Amino acid sequence: MNDKKTMEQIISYAKRRGFVFQGSEIYGGMAGVYDFGPYGVELLNNIKKSWWRANVQLRSDYYGLDSAMFKHPQVWEASGHTSGFSDPMSECKSCNTRLRVDKALEKVGVAADEKMSEDEINKLFDDNKSKIKCTKCGNSDFTPAKAFNLLVKSNLGDFTNKGESPVYLPGEACQGIYLNFKNVVDSMHPKIPFGIAQINKAFRNEISPRNFLFRTREFEQADTQYFVRPEENKEAFEKIKEDRWSWYVNDLGINPENMRWKQHDNLVFYAKDAWDIEYNYPTYGFDEVEGIHDRSDYDLSVHSKASGVDLSYVDQVAGEKYIPWILETSMGLGRIFLAILSDAYTVEEMDGAERTVLKLSPELAPVKVAVLPLLKNKPELVEKAKEVFTMLNKVMVSEYAETGTVGKRYRKQDEIGTPHCVTIDFDTLEDDTVTLRDRDSGEQKRVKIAELLNGLA
Ligand code: GAP
């Protein structure tokens, strides 16, 4: 469990060890924007690789996609985002700090339903204002809540609609899948049920970005949309839930005690069911990593109507034509990255000293093996170590490290989660064997260089 870890530890560790940096830090930073550093981008890419393998490459019923971020302005009108994609916002009357009202109410134990009108939210807000404090000045005097649209506008020159409505950055990644449904059907001729998967960026004008990578203004989503025959949704939905849970536990190696399911109480009007996979983040507690939604025929119906292009599926087997229903999975890459880091981050004792170790599965580790010459001032050791490093680096991401004592170099590799270290010493020069050290147990054994790859597999 994560009770003994704090998010402060994770944030400072992530910066110190080159995983995550504040966006535009040298200019004072930007709220809700983060950059992934040298080890962070390796971990992020490994998460994406694992997700893509499980959801596209190992599935004969799923197709991959990478759609453009800029989309015709009508997309966001048809999807309902220009009118309904908003959060209730208020401002502190003393210092103008913005407040997301539903989240502020939640903090004082009052649940605001997503479907509530502005008047209903304001009634709740008025009744509970005295318990809510401005995060900056501590006052409790706020303007009434107003719906604040989360779409981010771009100034892309748009000649398709004569500049009548702006070209937005994507508020969610899945729209690109709906736009390409017909292209995939016409080019790949899939049999229903089938899915389309993609990883893409999303941008939201979050009122109060918070909790490090958890709520940001720019993030990536890994989405699948599974198309089924109308009302043949239930069994497929349960199977998708099972597959998703299994990926977290069996592929990523996340401790299932730190995960749980949460079903939505208040569904949007077109949804038939919605569940979240939650993770128990240090300090913040359980919160959503991924949403699994039964969206009925809503998305393809609204885009059929607005575009005038028939997005029905012709079911040759059943001899029918219909708009498929959609089962969606949508995972925030920043949130799963933070969950993985939190789960793997461990401070423990080894050989009578405290060490920090990132217990990542080898598949996720940014560096798979580090090669260390015992001494850096012995050219013959350095030369042999570089030779072994070059050999290993052709097959897996490897790191060469020669500075500091071997013990210190082991500790640094433990901290970034490197599963194995290979040390080149004087015996190596005699018999072509090396010391192979295991990150988790600290155990060391002698291995022939020729057999190293088997030992690392
Ligand atoms: N297409 C459905 C959709 O976008 P969502 O619940 O708004 O649904 C899906 O988002 C996932 O995207 C969430 O479970 C979360 O992991 C991630 N996400 C949403 N807003 C985010 C934000 N501001 N920062 C980071 N991740 C976010």
Domains recognised in the chain with CATH numbers? 7-71+152-341 (3.30.930.10), 86-149 (3.30.40.230), 367-456 (3.40.50.800)
CA of 330 to the centre of ligand 1 (A): 7
Which numbered atom of ligand 1 lies nearest the CA of 336? 16
pLDDT computed for residue 211 by the predictor: 93
In angstroms, the CA 19 to CA 17 distance is 6
For 370, list phi and psi in degrees, rounded to 5: -115, 140
Q: Is the CB of 290 under 6 A from ligand 1?
A: yes
163: left (phi over 0), alpha (psi -120 to 50) or beta: left
pLDDT computed for residue 159 by the predictor: 65
Give the three-state DSSP class for 60. coil
Strands 320-322 and 313-315, sheet pairing: antiparallel
CA of 270 to the centre of ligand 1 (A): 18
Shortest-distance Cα residue to atom 24 of ligand 1? 215
Shortest-distance Cα residue to atom 12 of ligand 1? 332
Amino acid at 169: L
Q: Mind listing the pLDDT tens digit for each residue in 223-241? A: 999 999 998 999 999 999 9
CA of 204 to the centre of ligand 1 (A): 9
Show the tokens assigned to 188.
């790949």
Shortest-distance Cα residue to atom 27 of ligand 1? 332
Burial, 407: exposed, middle or buried (Cβ in 10 Å; 0-12, 13-18, 19+)? exposed
16: left (phi over 0), alpha (psi -120 to 50) or beta: alpha
Q: Chain-wide mean pLDDT for the chain? A: 95
Which numbered atom of ligand 1 lies nearest the CA of 217? 23
pLDDT computed for residue 158 by the predictor: 65
Task: List strand residue ranges (DSSP E) for 204-244, in order.
Answer: 218-228
Q: Is the CB of 289 under 6 A from ligand 1?
A: yes
Which numbered atom of ligand 1 lies nearest the CA of 209? 23
CA of 422 to the centre of ligand 1 (A): 41
Which numbered atom of ligand 1 lies nearest the CA of 219? 25
DSSP per position, 150-198: -PPB-----TTTTTSSPPBPPS-TTHHHHHTHHHHHHHH-PPSSEEEEE
CA of 406 to the centre of ligand 1 (A): 43
pLDDT computed for residue 111 by the predictor: 86
Residues of the chain with pLDDT under 50: none
Q: Best substitution site from 87, 103, 219 to test ligand 1's pocket, by max atoms within 8 Å of Cβ?
A: 219
Q: What is the pTM for the complete model shown?
A: 0.94
Which numbered atom of ligand 1 lies nearest the CA of 171? 4
Q: Best substitution site from 196, 335, 337 to test ligand 1's pocket, by max atoms within 8 Å of Cβ?
A: 335
Q: Is the CB of 100 under 6 A from ligand 1?
A: no
Number of neighbouring beta carbons within 10 Å of residue 189: 9
Which numbered atom of ligand 1 lies nearest the CA of 216? 24
Q: Is the CB of 334 under 6 A from ligand 1?
A: yes
In angstroms, the CA 372 to CA 386 distance is 9
Q: Mind listing the pLDDT tens digit for each residue in 241-272? A: 999 999 999 999 999 999 999 999 888 888 99
Q: Mind listing the pLDDT tens digit for each residue in 168-191? A: 999 999 999 999 999 999 999 999
pLDDT computed for residue 180 by the predictor: 98
Which numbered atom of ligand 1 lies nearest the CA of 173? 1
